[in-house]
Chain A
């Protein structure tokens, strides 16, 4: 069991999301940084989709009430287990009574914690992820509060044989952590109304370093920059939208839909951030700047294939390491 000692209500239990219910109006949810959760899960020997904790508000502290194996991934944040330092992208043993503390990230915005066995919360519509907007899933459909107790799924525990643990190097997948002033580059594909925007608006869309406003959460990010206007107003019927869809509402300031996006929307869509780059948004805090670079569908599929290959290789080397470490 795990006791939450300090947290914010935006920190929540998440897995890789809920699929199969978009046509009932139920969105994906799941962690904003799926590759990070997947890596953390693989490091502790879980299936990739086990439920962990997505931490977006720091400092975050929990106490292990029993021995456990955990991994930290995602944002680069200073972390300690008791008086020992904890590295990111690393799995280690925790003893009953140990306190894990995550401090404000040096880079990135969301840390992911995975625990061997995975968090035990009820499956709701096939997923353990919290849908904060609609208040179901996860722990009672809400974010974490101080004093919450989380259980781990029952099963045989295999503590790491070497107490220092082991880690993964995600740099081939994610590059180097970005600095505070770095512009985050997102690859996009054109979406339905891209061609309806005048050339000047398209140029502004690609040439601007868009500011992520404070109106940024798991549903989506509102951006600020020069106005993107259509030559004539488009009246669209409600249609399906995806995490990564970039909409342009009448005020000309784009919105990027994210993990808890509504399943349908009506605003014109200029582009979609490719699936393989969505994690970059999870790690982009309010105040960061974004740039949209056009790519093509082959490149977007290739990027996903590389991600899949990285995970397969990691899973194989973790099972080797777990044999002797």
Chain B
């Protein structure tokens, strides 16, 4: 059991509070506590939304219904007392075509890692990733669990258009593009699995706590 550190609280206006429990490196234990506190706070009258980030949590509320300092007290209490249970997240299988024109950075990432292309694909597809948070753009998953040797700093100049379904690596994080958008991450493959559909509810295919595995469909040279 890791020690429960005191999180830092700050304001984002009168109606949102950010709890930051991040240390120097991302912690899966802290993240499990984030999810548990989020679930508990969502049951408090006046709390509108909870937004888990990476080892942090934003609470959005109506300050005319619940006083901000009361939210802070409840949040600190919850942080100290909550019991993070093993999140029963779903297992999500993401079939990937690696490399080729829809995975154009696979070779340069392998060069950067000092590994063969096959070894990069093996390490990327054998890891089990945890969905830490969903956000930034609709349906975008922040994944923990990338093999550290596959980490690669983001491109100095982002691409203006990275296609939907692109399987990407940025810094120490793995991700998947839920829509076509600009990105500075490296593209190593492509999946056909839709990650976001506004006409579905819930609209995002993955939730925090889900476990993702990438499955090799093909490696294109």
**Are B198's CB and A134's CB within 8 A?**
yes
Cβ < 8 Å to A, chain B residues 171-188 = 178-179
Cβ < 8 Å to B, chain A residues 1-47 = 19-27
- B173 and chain A: residue at smallest CB distance: A238
**Are B198's CB and A238's CB within 8 A?**
no
> Within the assembled complex, what's the spacing in Å between the Cα atoms of A22 and B202?
11
A265 → chain B, closest Cβ, in Å?
Answer: 7
Q: Give the bracket for the number of chain B residues in contact with chain A.
A: 35 or more
Closest 4 CB pairs of A and B: A240-B58, A240-B51, A237-B54, A264-B135
**Are A264's CB and B18's CB within 8 A?**
no
Chain A CB within 8 A of B87 CB? no
**Are A25's CB and B14's CB within 8 A?**
no
Cβ < 8 Å to A, chain B residues 136-152 = 136-140, 142
1/0 per position for A264-287, CB-CB distance to B under 8 A? 110001001111000000000000
**Are B198's CB and A137's CB within 8 A?**
yes
**Are A25's CB and B208's CB within 8 A?**
no
- B62 and chain A: residue at smallest CB distance: A304
**Are B58's CB and A239's CB within 8 A?**
yes
> A residues touching B (Cβ–Cβ < 8 Å)?
19-27, 124-125, 131, 134, 136-137, 189-192, 236-242, 244-245, 262-265, 269, 272-275, 297, 300-301, 304-305, 308
- A295 and chain B: residue at smallest CB distance: B14
**Are A191's CB and B12's CB within 8 A?**
yes
B20, B135, B139, B203: most-surrounded residue (chain A CB, <10 A):
B135
Show 12 A/B contacts (Cβ-Cβ < 8 Å), sorted by A.
A21-B202, A23-B208, A25-B135, A25-B178, A26-B138, A124-B199, A236-B22, A237-B54, A240-B12, A245-B12, A245-B13, A297-B68
Given A20-B49, A237-B54, check contact A301 B68 (CB 8 Å): yes
**Are B51's CB and A274's CB within 8 A?**
no
B140 → chain A, closest Cβ, in Å?
Answer: 5
> Within the assembled complex, what's the spacing in Å between the Cα atoms of A25 and B203?
9
**Are A192's CB and B20's CB within 8 A?**
yes
From A23, A131, A137, A273, B13 is in contact (CB under 8 Å) with A273
Residues of B within 8 A of A273 (CB): 13
Residues of A within 8 A of B139 (CB): 24-25
Residues of A within 8 A of B137 (CB): 25, 134, 262
**Are B14's CB and A264's CB within 8 A?**
no
B17 → chain A, closest Cβ, in Å?
Answer: 10
Residues of A within 8 A of B135 (CB): 22-25, 238, 240, 262-264
Given A192-B18, A239-B53, A263-B51, check contact A134 B12 (CB 8 Å): no
Residues of B within 8 A of A239 (CB): 18, 20, 53-54, 56, 58
B38 → chain A, closest Cβ, in Å?
Answer: 8
Residues of A within 8 A of B22 (CB): 236-237
